[in-house]
Amino acid sequence: MNALITGASKGLGLGLCTVLAKRGDTVFAACRKASPELVALKVRVIEDVEVTSDEVIQQLREGIGKEAIDLVVCNAGINTSFNCDGIETLDLAAVNQEYQVNALGALRTVQAALPNLRQGSKIIFVSTTGNVLGRNPPRGGSYGYRMSKAGINTFGFLLAKELQPRGIAVRMISPGAVNTDLLRAIYATGRVSARAPEQSPDPVSAAQVMLSKIDELTLESTGSWVDETGKSWA
């Protein structure tokens, strides 16, 4: 299988690259700057990738070449609004950046990979907890992050409808809390209701669970949202 992973240099992205490379898949690892851990995997690194720029579309196409792509995982994401005290002090520039990376970055990635996708290919959007889909989240805050993730969910639902006749399946997957630098930073503020980092799975373990949700995806289940426990929402 040939897979394109964005945000591949660390965290969940690196975990996905690690698991895919270990099982013998060809990985195109897109990132701004490759980490030593990513380089050590011997995957095909596409560096200097900035998903907020429209130029990334051509850059990714050049990095992939004419290779058929079986799996696209739009994993690149940021959360900078978690440390905002409230709507009065919300940094709108930061919110815009979160939209550019989390939502529009995923759109650009799909546009880049689409010519290389074929019948049986899959597109995965890394989502967040189902609470972002509901009307009564357990806590407020993280406006830009959560709004942009709601946007990526909507994009996924729409895209699934469009691409189903072409034999391409789409799914939104929430990996849950993962022990990454971001979770540790959020947890340190006390503004999070998730598990503590040390009680959360490491990126490789989370990637293994996520890949099981990817492998089970079919055209019949396209457009679905699922979390790491198997709970679905549509």
Tens-place pLDDT, residues 154-163: 999 999 999 9
Q: What is the pLDDT of residues 44-72, one digit of tens each?
A: 999 999 999 999 999 999 999 999 999 99
- Confirm whether 99 is a catalytic residue: no
Question: Which two structure tokens, joined as six digits, stand for 119?
Answer: 């019948």
Domain span at residue 47 reads 2-233
Confidence of residue 176 (pLDDT cuts 50, 70, 90): confident
Report d(CA 203, CA 175) in Å as an integer. Answer: 10
Write a three-state SS string for 129-175: CHHHHCCCCCCCCCHHHHHHHHHHHHHHHHHHHHHHHHCCEEEEEEC
User: Strand 169-174 vs strand 44-46: parallel, antiparallel, or unpaired?
Assistant: unpaired
What is the layout of strands, in order, in the sheet containing 69-74?
44-46, 26-30, 2-6, 69-74, 117-126, 169-174, 224-227, 232-233
Tally of domains in the chain: 1
> CA nearest 30: which of 40, 44, 18, 20?
44
Look up the pTM and report it: 0.91
The mean pLDDT value of the chain amounts to 89
Q: What is the CATH number of the domain that holds 87?
A: 3.40.50.720
Out of 99, 143, 145, 187, pick the active-site residue: 145
Q: Is 62 helix (H, G, I), strand (E, B) or coil?
A: helix
pLDDT at 185: 65
